[in-house]
Amino acid sequence: MTRQPDPPPMETNEVVVSAIGAAAFAVAFVILLIVPLAPDHHWWRWVCLVGFLMGVFGCWYIPRLQRSRAAAAERHAAKRAADS
């Protein structure tokens, strides 16, 4: 049996995904501020806070990462064209 070719990568907007995740963690944090927690479960608030901060960092970092990858691909293509 022959192997099927891999499908092309799915195009997504990673910044939107990161922003939605950050918003979900922010909502969870607010809910955990309202709902009384047992003393040994207060660490869940920190989980939500760190998740929110990581989502915000992702919104800041992802565009820079995409730009640097595109620039590296252009440099690589230019080098291959020059070597040909």
20-64 pLDDT per residue, tens: 999 999 999 999 999 999 999 999 999 999 999 999 999 999 999
Question: What pLDDT score was predicted for residue 1?
Answer: 78
* pLDDT score recorded for residue 83: 83
The token duo for 61 is: 């970092």
Amino acid at position 51, single letter: G
Position 84 pLDDT exceeds 90: no
1-32 per-position pLDDT tens digit: 789 999 998 989 999 999 999 999 999 999 99
Q: Which has the closest alpha carbon to 33: 45, 24, 21, 25?
A: 45
For 15-63, the DSSP string reads HHHHHHHHHHHHHHHHHHHHS---GGGTHHHHHHHHHHHHHHHHHHHHH
Tell me the whole-structure pTM to 2 decimals: 0.79
